[in-house]
Amino acid sequence: MDKMNSEKTPKRNSIWFGLCIMLLINTIQPAHAELLRIQVDAGAYDRQHTVVHFQLPMDLEQGIYILLRDDDTKTLLQVDHRNKGWFILDALAAGTTTRFELTESSPVSEDVLKERTGGAGISEFSGASAQGVNAQMDSDILTFSTEMGTVLSYYHGENDPPAVLDERYRRGGYIHPVYSPSGQVLTNHLNPDQHPHHAGIWSAWTNTIFEDRTPDFWNLHFNSGRVDVDSLLHSWNGPVMGGLISRHHFIDLSGNDPLVALNELWEVRVYAASTQDDVHVFDLTVTQTTNTDRPLKLPEYRYGGIGFRGHSDWDDQEKCFFLTSDGLGRDGHATRARWANMSGYANNHLAGFAILGHPSNFRFPQTMRIHPSEPFFNYAPTQLGDMEITPGVPYVTKFRIVTHDGEPDSKLIDRLWRDFAYPPSVSIIE
């Protein structure tokens, strides 16, 4: 009996020793295992309150996550419906890198954020603002705001034209109003006295050839074409950004029956406020595809594409001013530029917005239509010659819009353009 017990003792000791080792390992391991580590490279430019986005290597539920930076500061990561991660890099010097790690595989709620920050919530995190971006929807309009105020509204339904305008002008699928950080309205629409077909920020082609017809989708009063909203596909809020995705139809009215010539997808992203820069920032990406096996041909013309109409007070050309990235004003018409700013006085308040073009845009830097006397701006690649949108090849245009009060700050706009055109790179660290 004693011999049998003595033979079992080493086995029992071995089991207990293994259990103790496992307990010790579990005790000294971190509470959350590292799920993902990324490296962000500033590249050639200093970064400040810069939007960063990257494709996640694993599937994560849409929502809010916490990134821990290598200096132990915490940053909010917003994961969208396409499994992309978005966050705001508060600062990073040119030529340097920084790393972040993600330790949780499930999004955190606002209550959890408040619990972890002692009630401070989103404002406790690097690069985040107290409110983030909020979206409010009514029957026709979707409006986005940040802690600095309302940024813009988008007509996902129909507008309500004044009695002096007929039903041709009842439409949606455009942005208006756009606001400065102080709340000054910057855009205009449905103006009976000045181009009522101009609608805030909108998209249309003017001089076109479709099959054997020549519809004009820009000038609604010609009754040969129009652009209507089809549906609002998606909208969202978030601590980093809010936005929408909508579909529009370019309708050829010049034949016997209405025919959709182009399908258009709008994606708008409104970013969390930077109180240090005192600007609103949002992106507009427009993707156009043919609806038939025929191209939409776009002969050389002075305007067409995505238009921008300024405040009605700016109809007085003495109250409206332009500035391009090359330092030109209204004389910048038909020149090429990385960005252009339109601003003016309304109610004795000076404010405006800059339109930043992306290097991927066709014929970048694109030529501009700057009206000689009215508050109208348009990047018009057709000024350089004929072009066409062909079946199977999406035509994509990207802009970043920056609204401001007072005079435009060229250095700030240049910095924001570099962030847009050449953002920091993100690498997944194995």
For residue 122, which amino acid is it? I
Reading phi first (left if > 0) and then psi (alpha if -120 to 50, else beta), residue 275 is in: alpha
Tell whether 344 is covered by a domain: yes
Question: How many Cβ atoms from other residues are within 10 Å of residue 40's Cβ?
Answer: 23
Structure tokens at 32: 């959350």
Are 417 and 390 in the same domain?
A: yes
> What pLDDT is recorded for position 257?
95
Are 108 and 215 in the same domain?
A: no
φ, ψ at 246 (rounded to 5°): -140, 160
Are 263 and 186 in the same domain?
A: yes
Are 186 and 57 in the same domain?
A: no
Write out the E strands in 302-364: 305-309, 320-324, 339-346, 349-357
Q: What is the pLDDT along the chain (430 residues), one digit of tens a residue?
A: 444 444 444 444 544 444 444 444 344 344 445 799 999 999 999 999 999 999 999 999 999 999 999 988 999 999 999 999 999 999 999 999 999 999 888 998 877 776 766 555 565 666 655 579 999 999 999 999 999 999 999 999 999 999 999 999 999 999 999 999 999 999 999 999 999 999 999 999 999 999 999 999 999 999 999 999 999 999 999 999 999 999 999 999 999 999 999 999 999 999 999 878 999 999 999 999 999 999 999 999 999 999 999 999 999 999 999 999 999 999 999 999 999 999 999 989 999 999 999 999 999 999 999 999 999 999 999 999 999 999 999 999 999 999 999 999 999 999 999 999 999 999 999 7
Tell whether 146 is covered by a domain: yes
Are 6 and 100 in the same domain?
A: no
Sheet architecture: strand order including 425-429: 47-55, 84-92, 74-79, 63-69, 97-102, 36-41, 425-429
Structure tokens at 283: 């992106």
Cα–Cα distance between 92 and 39 in angstroms, integer? 12
Cα–Cα distance between 376 and 364 in angstroms, integer? 20
Report whether 313 contacts 343 (CB < 8 A).
no
Rounded to an integer, what is the distance from CA 246 to the centroid of its chain? 13
Please say which residue of 77, 98, 124 terminates a domain: 124
> What pLDDT is recorded for position 26?
42
Cα–Cα distance between 237 and 125 in angstroms, integer? 17
CATH of the domain at 290: 2.70.98
Interstrand relation of 84-92 and 97-102 (parallel, antiparallel or unpaired): unpaired
Are 294 and 173 in the same domain?
A: yes
Tell whether 248 is covered by a domain: yes
Are 162 and 216 in the same domain?
A: yes
Are 390 and 241 in the same domain?
A: yes
Return the percent helix, strand and coil in the chain, to nearest 5: 15, 45, 40
Cα–Cα distance between 23 and 20 in angstroms, integer? 5
Count: domains in the chain: 3
> What pLDDT is recorded for position 227?
98
Nearest to 171 by CA among 233, 269, 244, 250: 250
> What pLDDT is recorded for position 312?
97
Tell whether 345 is covered by a domain: yes
* Domain range for 292: 134-429
pTM for this prediction: 0.90
Are 296 and 267 in the same domain?
A: yes
Are 282 and 334 in the same domain?
A: yes
> What pLDDT is recorded for position 31?
43
> What pLDDT is recorded for position 110?
73
> What pLDDT is recorded for position 118?
58
Tell whether 4 is covered by a domain: yes
Are 235 and 116 in the same domain?
A: no
Are 23 and 41 in the same domain?
A: no
